[in-house]
Structure 1
Amino acid sequence: MKKALLVLLAAAIVGAGVTPTDVAAATKKKTVAAKKKAPGAAKLARVKHTLRAKSAHRVTSLDDARHLAVQSSAALVLDQTTGAILFEKNPNAILPIASITKLMTAMVVLDGKPDLTETLVINEEDVDVLKGTRSRLKVGTHLAREEMLRLALMSSENRAASALSRHYPGGRDAFIAAMNQKAQALGLADTRFQDATGLTAANVSSPRDLAKMVDAAHQYPLIREFSTTSEGEFSIAGRPQHFRNTNTLVKSPTWEIGLSKTGYINEAGKCLVMQAWLNNKPTIIVLLDSWGRLTRIGDANRIKRWVENASLAQRPGASAG
């Protein structure tokens, strides 16, 4: 039956004036074209698959690291005072960082020492045409620069971050250049930026770099304040609207968080960076490429318990009971 079909197909090809060689060449051409399509996405998928396949035990940490099952593909926990690494998993993996980007956006804005009371306007250029994300900041919304900054850090408002970059001296291109210059100045060798929101997967970094970036951002009082504000009300188009922090841990009574930023796009997975006090010590936590809805929060809580339990075990007179 298959042989008969092949004979009929060959006859049809010849009748159309197309040789089998032509068909083979065309098929090869389509295959090559398909392979060339979006090579960046294919490479990223391979990298992330490899990271997820690695054992969670391949870490450098305290003696009982085997008891810390972090699900995020890449992670780092750092003593902010001493610089000692308490835990790391794929610390040099270079991955998309989504809205973690907004920490750099905020630093560049504040470095320019702008008038925070100046009114900025959301326009069509701030609408996300890359991912099609929605926003409650409609085109024509007027807000003070300070309010835009608060919304970008607290609620990860993309249009607010876009407007901040657009109102920078020299415009958006100058702003992106300043972001990359700031990254170089901080020694972030694995970090690159192409926009101020993080909606593009071209914004990349590594856990080691992000720990440095979090430490630098923590030096800015407004970034500390705005990124840890649990909720707030803003007047949008003359009507009060309520916004919440994208990190639910900032309102948890069991956490003392000094800086926070979440991030998510499909290419990056769910990300979370924080500066928090664990055992009365300032600690930086970086979690990249989490996929469960609550995985990054679960990882953060697991890290907190692990650090606290390790501290208890190391106290004089402590027993394994």
Structure 2
Amino acid sequence: MKHKLKAALLVGALLGVGMQAPVAAATAKKSEQQVAKKGTAKAASKAPLAAKSAGKQATKSVAKAAPTGKAAAQSRHTGKTVVAHSARPAAKPIRHASMMDMDADPSRLALYSASALVIDQTTGQAMIEKQPDLVVPIASISKLMTAMVVLDAKLDLQELIAIGDADVDGLKGTRSRLPVGTTMTREAAMLLALMSSENRAANSLGRHYPGGLPAFVQAMNKKAQALGMYNSRFEEPTGLSSNNVSTAHDLARMVAAAARYPEIRQYSTTAEARVELNGRIRDFHNTNALVRNDNWEIGVSKTGYISEAGRCLVMQARVADKPVVIVLLDSNGKMTRVGDANRIKRWMESAGLGSGSRRPA
């Protein structure tokens, strides 16, 4: 009997162990799955933080490589190209459109001047035309004609002339650095009129012409007709009057004629000058910043501005080893006329100078 009881207890113990094994295995498996699940969740939660950290590190690398502030300004001034390097792997190269892609088509050149004209002086042909026959006010571009009339009369450039009350601008109310009573040579007055666009100097040149202002204005219009400027009219020497009008085609003729005067070439392209006025030395600067740019070779320059005319710029220059006349009229923005001139220069240098579909001026 005892032996039967012991045998029964032994069988029960063995059955208990057999029942616990699958349960333990299932429990262990479940535990392993929970641990694995927690580990995956933890790794997933860390992934965005790791990506964010990597992004910050890459951003810092780019920021450190790219020039800012004074360094960037200096790089622009010197014309050096600064390339910013990123910590990210190199992307697929992107093809940027160049001026060559224009196939020398000037119609695709974006100019912000209302009227524009570029003449190749070697061939006499128009390379770029945008409303070249539109009659518009020309502001201080008029002073080129003023200078030609004075020089044609062969007046003594060393003769002293004075700024009078009649030279004060009563039309637009513009200010001047030449007080009434200031005396200077005719040469100095011409320099200031062409370089710094001094209105009182230009008006004084007209007043001191033989026969006074009426005779001077008559001579301006006679000269315009002689140059074939049939759509032009001058009312006074400064350009303050919106009745001084012309077209881009006419002004191209005027600029080309002005380039034949050594004095106009010299005075209009002088970057800055120190002039003695009433015993004091005064500094004057050219109104065209491009004359101070070594990348430009400018023979004649004149800027102009009144509200009716917008911002204007005419130049005779050498671009892409070609003599050209550039006329830009009625630019809205303060720097758009300079921007247009630079765009024309880049186009000429990049697109080549083949004959293409250019039309006679």
State the TM bucket, normalised to the shorter chain. Answer: 0.7 to 0.9
1:178 is aligned with what amino acid?
A
What displacement does 1:67 show? 3.1
Tell me which of 321, 330, 333 is aligned to 1:280. 321
Residue 191 of structure 2 corresponds to residue 150 of structure 1: yes
* 1:1-321 equivalent positions in 2, closer than 5 A: 63-311=104-352
Give TM-score scaled by structure 2 length. Answer: 0.69
1:63 deviates by: 4.1
TM-score of the superposition, structure 1-length normalised?
0.77
1:66 is displaced (CA, Å) by: 3.5
Give 1:165 deviation, angstroms. Answer: 0.2
What's the secondary structure of 1:73's corresponding residue? strand
Letter aligned with residue 182 of structure 2: T
The CA distance in 2 between the partners of 1:306 and 1:96, in whole Å, is: 28
Distance 1:110 1:293 in 2: 32
C-alpha contact (below 8 Å) 2:104/2:352 kept by paired residues: no
8 A contact 2:303–2:314 mirrored in 1 = yes
What is the percent sequence identity of the aligned residues? 60
> Offset of 1:62 from its aligned partner?
7.9
Q: What does the per-residue CA deviation read over 1:76-134, in whole Å, with 9 as the maximum and x for residues that have no partner?
A: 00001211100000010000000000000000000000010000000000000000000
Amino acid at match of 1:261: K
In 2, the alpha carbon distance for the partners of 1:144 and 1:288 equals 32
The structure with the larger Rg is 2
Runs of 5+ consecutive residues of structure 2 not aligned to the other structure: 1-101, 355-361
Deviation digits for residues 113-171 of structure 1, max 9, x if unmatched? Answer: 00100000000000000000000100000100000000000000000000000000000
For residues 248 and 160 of structure 2, what CA distance do their matches in structure 1 show? 35
Q: CA deviation at 1:310?
A: 1.2
Partner of 1:48: none
Report the count of equivalent residues. 253
Deviates more, 1:66-75 or 1:152-161: 66-75
Poorly superposed stretches of 4+, deviation over 3 Å: none
Q: Is the 8 A contact 1:275 1:282 kept in 2?
A: yes
Measure the CA separation in 2 of the matches of 1:79 and 1:65: 14
Say what the alpha-carbon RMSD is for the aligned residues: 1.2
Aligned to 2:89: none
CA deviation vs aligned residue, 1:167-192 (integer Å, no higher than 9, x gap): 00000000000000000011101100
- The corresponding residue for 2:29 is none
Q: Once the 2 structures are TM-superposed, how far is the Cα of residue 65 of structure 1 from its aligned partner?
A: 1.6
Whether the aligned pair in 2 keeps the contact of 1:227 and 1:259 (CA below 8 Å) is yes
